[in-house]
Amino acid sequence: MDMHAMISDLDIIGDIVAGGVGAYGGLGDVDILGAGGFDSSIEEALSGPNPNAASAAAGMAEARKIDKAAVLVRQQALRSLAYQPAGVPPTTFTAPGGPFTQQINLTVTRPFKPYELIIGSEIAPFFRVDNSTVNGRNQLATAAPVPASAFSEASLRSKFRWETVNPSSALVLTITMTDTTTTRIFTCCFQGAALMR
């Protein structure tokens, strides 16, 4: 099934990337439902008001070995997802005076589930990612900073599992410029799934 599978904005069942849910492991309680690993009969069962939606969700929970309490099926016409980029405003880091650490917000107009952070290789060596929060929760595994070059398009970067960013709350990146000798402009791009209205 392609990336444009139909889903509801409140469904919490699977993963949206090719390769299925196994590629990223368990689900969070704010994940957007996705298409990976979808069976067409289950998609049909969830495609609108349907008395079998609850049993289809329970079957998916058992098959994917996830907590049944984390599966929510909204009985309405389903909407589509699209894999899209989302940018942040260019931010100037001034040298030598600073500030050398700044918070940069990713604000969205519709629910967006980031899977990749891409920082251009021409600027990545001069920055680090100190923190990345969604709804106040750090999306990095530790409190230690990560070199921005780990997110460069030239790196062997892995896909990650950020929580869903909603229009009501921004994703906040805390970025530090590590080379304080030259004024630089930081920008980056997230790629992920956006719920199409």
The C-alpha angle with vertex 115 and arms to 128 and 25, in degrees rounded to 5, equals 115
Task: Reduce the DSSP state of residue 57 to 3 states and report it.
Answer: helix
Whether domain 82-195 has CATH 2.60.40: no
- Give the start-to-end residue ranges of the domains of the chain: 6-77, 82-195
CA 132, CA 104: separation in Å to the nearest integer?
9
Predicted TM-score (pTM) of the model is 0.60
Predicted pLDDT at 44: 41
In tens digits, the chain (197 residues) has pLDDT values of: 443 444 444 444 443 333 333 333 343 434 444 434 333 333 343 344 556 666 766 666 666 665 545 444 554 445 688 889 999 999 999 998 889 999 999 999 889 999 999 999 999 999 999 999 998 899 988 889 999 999 998 887 667 878 999 988 899 999 999 999 999 999 999 999 988 76
CA 174, CA 177: separation in Å to the nearest integer?
10
